[in-house]
Structure 1
């Protein structure tokens, strides 16, 4: 029985078609399976380089281009174009099967043939060639065929390869791009490893190739699934996963597993697909993250994924997934036993520590004691003086002798007594109590826990999640990037009962940001020691983007008024260039700067709203760097990146009070800027007044 497949490039173009054409495409292909079976005519194309291309009539003006296999039942819809354009597109191209991945490939043969004479002349006079260090055997092993190999041997500069992206088969282009970026053939092979086909590949079996190509082709199971795909053409993440992402989603492990990767590499997409896949298998899943805003986005995304996969059981699948941020989950478990907790405010906490310091006559600051309580006592579940004397104090910076430790423990004991007398709790102690309650139960509430933005959770929250699911196969799945940690402290998962050793994977290809923006942003973190949540150090080395664009625009101004005026001019220029206001973001360190930026844009006649106020439709989004977490924009302006604003003075523990906390605060502030800048997809502007932030020193032109 014929089955329709939808090519990824078509779905991207489908969104740009006029509504009547979209409707007609839906009508024609909704009955494709039945009509093809009864003999619907697919026209051959005179003069085509590949006689397996066909056209199908949409209406009098529009035609679809379909790849029809010589044998097999998979018909792939490649394009819908005006009549003449459809025939021209098909005549220029050829389909093939990648010998390494076994996947389907489409290439512009006419453009490659036309460029070859000029490319060969340039190569003949060039002192070096781009791939002269890579042998033919390695290129063939990586799936590079003869035509691409011939073209590659003429390249002299990476720019030529970038210009050829639309001509070459995507996987072969990615192989060449990786080699040009400095990866060895073995490293490129590792990245292709998730999709390498064992054994030989039949280069003429297009039907099998289409069925292997889930990264670019959707096999439609009937008209309902087709309609679901066409209803949301921009949400390609629902359908097409990179083979490496799909391998992570579908992998099964004996215990907890983790996926890491730089910004924009698709960690959240992987987490959503994995939660959905587990729920579809009939399992109870907790999908959780650090903040309520991110939890709402996860809830919307997993709902869309369930509703548009065309299987008609979305409500049943969603009923098995609880999407809830981790503090809300902790409080819900706590309330079941104790009722609503009375939370300790930061102001009252400081007053209590000041009272403890005064009553005991200590020479330690309230800030130091507060951090010691959180980072050591709570983090390591210390309950006695003996345990505290033996406890690790990794990252605390200030060493303590036995006598000092005794006095600290005395202060912690008094502080705990004050909390107990007043019936006060913190989010950390609520999480610890909830973890204790769950661990004491015979039955656990979930079969699997999937965690997004894992780097921001504190140890008590990890113990809660560990207690929420019994130890076993695929019990915990953790997604995060410690370079983007802006909330939680450094955590070793092994120390909170979560062993991921040997079950970690890393995503390296950035799908959000241009190479220029990504490279500049990575420079912000250069030289910083960042943990990997597993007892070692993490690295963003190898994280790359295959999209090219403009370099970030960096500019300092004499006054805040001039910087604001430039912000208005920048946003106006983006809008006049065709960027929608809703596709523009403005990030700042403080709420005060956010309010001033919103006012300046509104007074200039540009629609703007604060992320703190909720969505208002088609307007520029202005928010603090914290609120930018999880968002993305075509164009982004970071304002107020000056030395007096970033790092924010009030967010830094004085170095003489607590060197360890001071160092962590600095890294957290640097990570905030990194997170904000990597929200930009195409254009990034960074500005300041007076002196630039010290974080910018390494990335400003000398």
Structure 2
């Protein structure tokens, strides 16, 4: 077949969703049809009366595809039985917007999920401050202006969601949530003027978040491979612009849980290694904070990258990368970490503490001195008494005079001696050593590009390490794409502390972008996850702070449910009852995840479920989760990061299961509370459809706090 006969066509996100619900015979018939269709095989185009001009093609017995076309391009919109197809076209318009020129799909006969409230006489519309021209400028169809003017509350807007083109509803939602209209328009103007994000065709501009133009047989096979994994194929224009932009420097991408930061990072990696000027000697490091997240990321990369592309990408968590570098560059020491029972770090600390005589008049706990070592001495690389006296203790809360610092320095000096005797070094010292070696031996980094996910958990020394190993394109005579691409969310910071990027040599001002659309959860789940941060200010990793996570979820569902059990057995019975009820409605065991605070709790809950005949599959720290393995997932709040499930139980929310929040240092107490908030936020936001929260009644304040915020949400 001649290349001239190959049809140019696009498929919609909705079509892949419909295809995922088809039976095996129908999926096979559609695959055969698509191959022939692409290669120019003739088909009969049958008329189809609907809200817009459509046609249909019979794929097999009572299985048809809806098409909109011209001589240049075909748009495959939806598929199903003839009855379903006729219903879809009667309720959906597909037209080019007169202002933006984009092809839009939206419903004209949607059924509200709840009755609309009775209108109040003279009640002001929430969009009254916006002129018709401003509303039309974002792509609102002229005919829908009266609907927008009738909206008097966010609840009104939600009932009309399907009546608006998707991007219009997004913009209106952000406005209702308090975003500045000019900033909303600017974001859409930038994204929708990018011909990679909004592809021009003779039938209209196609939004990459909803339409995908098939470019090759390989592309077609990739699209059909996993129709539900739509992140592989469709990128929202705001994501697409971030991914494909020719950045000339470090980039920071932020956004709440589920907004697609990791998806953007993965697509950015593929974009970079596909560049025409990417040389065989160029390397890309894709890194993150923990080993298990790195394993998950590698699996996701393999879903969109070819084998040749994967050869150009090294995926490794930052600690493992650093350990390898230290071994290969002559430090001849092992890196040790606090927290491991009977580990070298803990043994060294115990030895130093046992021989330390606390200065007279300083009645402090051991935890105070240890946090002083880990929060002041190590990050600032204090190697002498003088270094420590001059060290910045901002944020420590309790003041220490020069004499007091001099009096307690022997403890820290002894700790360093203990580590030296064990041929060990802390991660802070290891990163500092690596940066010095890299600066001496590599004029401008080791990698052409470094992509780092979950950047909020990186400590200052690790950020400095990232800056050292990535090519700083701003220092090149001939600028090129590469450098640092960082993604994260300060609301999910469960390891590190707030840190200034610029103080670590990373300049992202002017190249910082925020994603604001939640792809994962329902809005009801989003509100509950967000509620833990009510009234709390969090840094935005770009030099400022913010009070809200600042993103919208466009899906809706059941409100999360809470349960305060009388006993552990009662809590397990409640979880099992919910699981069995949902299984009866079609959920599989792989759709569920029980999340608890610690590894010991995970073992306890897994065993309790097994005892009651529930198939369980604990999620390992050392390998990615395999969705094909049956069993209810059970894991910790730390390990669940980066994953998502249809149904999540956040269990064991008793006060005793969380670190003490009553530190003697108020600054430390606040930092500890922030970590616990982040762990809850991470856990709750893993759920896409349903969220359940439970605890055993011990009069615990943490669950009371969570429950209260859930009710307020």
- Following superposition, the deviation at residue 480 of structure 1 comes to 0.7
Aligned partners of 1:587 and 1:623 also within 8 Å? yes
Of 367-376 and 341-350, more deviation after overlay is shown by 341-350
Aligned partners of 2:435 and 2:464 also within 8 Å? yes
Cα distance in 1 for residues equivalent to 2:24 and 2:377: 61
Structure 1 residues 363 and 424: alpha-carbon distance in aligned structure 2, compared to 1, 3 A threshold: farther
- Map of 1:111-130 to 2, 5 A cutoff? 111=109, 127-129=123-125
Structure 1 residues 531 and 151: alpha-carbon distance in aligned structure 2, compared to 1, 3 A threshold: closer
Q: Counterpart in 2 of 1:601?
A: 609
Q: Counterpart in 1 of 2:294?
A: 295
Structure 2 counterpart of 1:188, from 172, 180, 184? 184
Cα distance in 1 for residues equivalent to 2:36 and 2:333: 56
**Local SS of the residue matching 1:31:** helix
Q: Counterpart in 1 of 2:339?
A: none
Quick check: 1:642 aligned with 2:649? no
Q: Counterpart in 2 of 1:23?
A: 28
Q: Counterpart in 1 of 2:172?
A: 176
- Following superposition, the deviation at residue 629 of structure 1 comes to 0.9
**Local SS of the residue matching 1:271:** helix
Q: Counterpart in 2 of 1:414?
A: 414
Structure 2 residues without counterparts, runs of 5 or longer = 337-342, 475-481
Q: Counterpart in 2 of 1:258?
A: 252
The one-character-per-residue Cα deviations of 1:443-488 (angstroms, maximum 9, x if unpaired) are 5320111110111112222222222123225411111111111112
**Local SS of the residue matching 2:641:** coil
Quick check: 1:137 aligned with 2:138? no
Of 279-288 and 85-94, more deviation after overlay is shown by 85-94
Q: Counterpart in 2 of 1:670?
A: 677
Structure 1 residues without counterparts, runs of 5 or longer = 307-313
Structure 1 counterpart of 2:694, from 687, 696, 699? 687
Cα distance in 2 for residues equivalent to 1:574 and 1:49: 37
Q: Counterpart in 2 of 1:434?
A: 434
- Following superposition, the deviation at residue 641 of structure 1 comes to 0.9
Cα distance in 2 for residues equivalent to 1:150 and 1:206: 30
Structure 1 residues 352 and 465: alpha-carbon distance in aligned structure 2, compared to 1, 3 A threshold: farther
Cα distance in 2 for residues equivalent to 1:180 and 1:42: 47
Of 363-372 and 293-302, more deviation after overlay is shown by 363-372
Cα distance in 1 for residues equivalent to 2:528 and 2:208: 33
Aligned partners of 1:262 and 1:540 also within 8 Å? no
Aligned partners of 1:523 and 1:698 also within 8 Å? no
Quick check: 1:152 aligned with 2:148? yes
Quick check: 1:478 aligned with 2:480? no
Structure 1 residues 515 and 604: alpha-carbon distance in aligned structure 2, compared to 1, 3 A threshold: same
Aligned partners of 1:7 and 1:216 also within 8 Å? yes
Aligned partners of 1:482 and 1:538 also within 8 Å? no
Of 465-474 and 528-537, more deviation after overlay is shown by 528-537
**Local SS of the residue matching 1:171:** helix
Of 296-305 and 432-441, more deviation after overlay is shown by 432-441
Cα distance in 2 for residues equivalent to 1:445 and 1:175: 41
- Following superposition, the deviation at residue 295 of structure 1 comes to 0.2
Structure 1 counterpart of 2:45, from 43, 46, 50? 43
Residues matched between the structures, number: 675
Aligned partners of 1:45 and 1:91 also within 8 Å? no
**Local SS of the residue matching 2:709:** coil
Cα distance in 2 for residues equivalent to 1:366 and 1:440: 39
**Local SS of the residue matching 1:684:** strand
Q: Counterpart in 2 of 1:5?
A: 10
Cα distance in 2 for residues equivalent to 1:101 and 1:521: 35
Structure 2 counterpart of 1:696, from 699, 702, 706? 706
C-alpha RMSD over aligned residues = 3.0
**Local SS of the residue matching 2:574:** helix
Cα distance in 1 for residues equivalent to 2:35 and 2:44: 16
Structure 2 counterpart of 1:561, from 556, 569, 576? 569
Quick check: 1:242 aligned with 2:236? yes
Aligned partners of 2:512 and 2:542 also within 8 Å? no
Aligned partners of 2:253 and 2:512 also within 8 Å? yes
Structure 1 residues 187 and 42: alpha-carbon distance in aligned structure 2, compared to 1, 3 A threshold: farther
Cα distance in 2 for residues equivalent to 1:297 and 1:197: 34
Aligned partners of 1:643 and 1:692 also within 8 Å? yes
- Map of 1:405-554 to 2, 5 A cutoff? 405-442=405-442, 444-473=445-474, 474-554=482-562
TM-score (norm 2): 0.88
Aligned partners of 1:640 and 1:688 also within 8 Å? yes
- Following superposition, the deviation at residue 184 of structure 1 comes to 4.7
TM-score (norm 1): 0.89
